[in-house]
Structure 1
Amino acid sequence: MTAQPFEKLDKEELRRTLADVIDVDATDIEEATDFVEELQVDSLLLLELVVVLEKKYQVKFTEQEMRTARTFSQARALLERKLAVSA
């Protein structure tokens, strides 16, 4: 099964995807939830998150982008920008 380009980012689907990878309940991820400070996401888990998102949404993240997206809101905004560019 090949992934299809996404036209619009589903916020709740993104929340569930992140929660699955981090192994937390989706309700634990709010707009300002800091992945590192609040959910104890380490560098290996962050890399896993990036790989999952890149595959699912057919985008690529730079190392700098990965470092700056520390909250759900920042990650969503970054992914929305990436999807807009690739559309």
Structure 2
Amino acid sequence: MSENTAVAVDTEELRSLVADALELPVEEVTDEAHFVDDLQVDSLMALEIVVNLEKKYGIKVAESDFKQVSTLLHVRALVDSKLK
């Protein structure tokens, strides 16, 4: 994706994508909710989030990149960095 066609990341859209992957109400996926501690995300759920991100934004997310992610705000920063 070129810089001119980069997709803007909408936080609420991203929140909905993560909530769908985790099969949780959107309200539970707050900006600071810790995926493992607060939302009980396991490795399969994390993989589902990654697959959804890759499909939605046309990016590739390495497993090592996603292991550094623990909140929705971290997901947004990761997607933003991949879209640049």
TM-score band by shorter chain is: 0.7 to 0.9
- Count of equivalent residues: 80
- Work out the CA distance in 1 between the residues paired with 2:82 and 2:18: 17
Q: State TM-score, norm by structure 2.
A: 0.88
Q: State TM-score, norm by structure 1.
A: 0.85
Q: Report the counterpart of residue 37 of structure 2 in structure 1.
A: 37
Q: CA deviation at 1:6?
A: 5.0
Q: CA deviation at 1:7?
A: 2.1
In structure 1, stretches of 5+ residues that fail to align are: none
CA deviations on 1:56-83 (whole Å, 9 max, x unpaired) are 1100011211100111111111111111
- Work out the CA distance in 2 between the residues paired with 1:19 and 1:6: 24
Aligned amino acid, residue 21 of structure 1: A
- Work out the CA distance in 2 between the residues paired with 1:20 and 1:81: 23
- Work out the CA distance in 2 between the residues paired with 1:13 and 1:48: 16
Q: Report the counterpart of residue 70 of structure 1 in structure 2.
A: 70
Q: RMSD value over aligned CA atoms?
A: 1.2
Aligned amino acid, residue 53 of structure 1: L
In the TM superposition, what are the counterparts of 1:1-87 in structure 2 within 5 Å? 6-84=6-84
Contact 2:50–2:61, Cα closer than 8 Å, also in 1: yes
The residue matched to 1:37 in structure 2 has which SS? coil
Structure 1 segments of 4 or more deviating over 4 A? none
